[in-house]
Structure 1
Amino acid sequence: MKTMRQLDNLNEIDSILKQMVRNSYEEAREEGELLCMECGDVDLYIAASNHARLQDAINMNFRIDESGEIIEHEEYQQLMDELSEYFLELHKDSELFDFFPAGSYEVKGDERESETDMLGPKGLFSAPFEDSIIKE
């Protein structure tokens, strides 16, 4: 993970993000779901808003005012953008998911188009469509 800002707890943040990816995989596998990489399914901003430990770990790297708000808002936003990109890459590179880029796929003899990049739990889907689940 590379960021423009020097992080005091880089390893902690990295560990939390990797655990979030594993949790995402477990949930998607259990539910038999695909994750849309452009629709919020793999959105760090959404995930962080519900993850107090991650929020606290990120906030430790910034000065906070008396009302609990981050003073260096632009730097915070830049870090969140960098972490968001890293979070997407973690999903793609984790070896837990199959990556289905936007494009044409054949499903059950029909040619179909996926307009977004999708992820599916490794080995569960043959294409980025809910009905392309591989029967075991």
Structure 2
Amino acid sequence: MIQTTIQLVNFNKIDAILKEIVRNSYDEASEECVLLCMECGDVDLYIAASNHDGIQEAINENFQIDEYGQIIQQKEYQQFMDDLSDYFLELHRESALFDYFPAGYYEVDGEKRESETDMLGPKGQFSAPFEDALINE
């Protein structure tokens, strides 16, 4: 559940759209057999929102809009987007679609390597957060 101080009129709608975006991210990552960086643009709410009209419209329903289509409560909007960004990351980690690889040391082919960022891989495709750590089926 999202942790925010903003009163939402449509949490379920926003939640459903975010889960759809997570599922689409999984489908693409699984098909292309790639890892997603959680601290880069791979799992970024702002990028996802800019590419999905439905999520931006759902978010805007919670704020007053001026005659130019701009959100009036910018401070509250920014706080909500920060909260939603944290929730978006959480949705990816807890979706059961991805394996979560926190930053740290991993062994790949007998070699100890360090991942400096948290990574996600499509469930069951990688043994560590490195492109050459594919699990052979």
After TM superposition, the score normalised by the length of structure 1 is 0.98
Measure the CA separation in 1 of the matches of 2:4 and 2:107.
39
Measure the CA separation in 1 of the matches of 2:31 and 2:108.
22
The code of the aligned residue for 1:41 comes to D
Counterpart position of 1:22: 23
Counterpart position of 1:44: 45
Please give the per-residue CA displacement for 1:10-52, whole angstroms capped at 9, x wherever unaligned.
Answer: 1000000011111111110000000000011000011101111
Q: Please give the secondary structure, in 2, of the residue aligned with 1:111.
A: strand
Q: Please give the secondary structure, in 2, of the residue aligned with 1:132.
A: coil
Counterpart position of 1:56: 57
**Regions of 4+ moved over 3 Å:** none
Counterpart position of 2:128: 127
Measure the CA separation in 1 of the matches of 2:81 and 2:63.
12
In structure 2, stretches of 5+ residues that fail to align are none
Cα displacement (A) at 1:2:
3.0
Counterpart position of 1:93: 94
Q: Please give the secondary structure, in 2, of the residue aligned with 1:7.
A: coil
The code of the aligned residue for 2:75 comes to E
Residue 3 in 1 paired to residue 4 in 2?
yes
Number of aligned residue pairs: 136
The code of the aligned residue for 2:128 comes to A
Q: How does 1:80-119 map to 2 (within 5 A)?
A: 80-119=81-120
Cα displacement (A) at 1:135:
1.0
After TM superposition, the score normalised by the length of structure 2 is 0.97
Measure the CA separation in 1 of the matches of 2:21 and 2:3.
18
Identity fraction in percent: 71
In structure 1, stretches of 5+ residues that fail to align are none
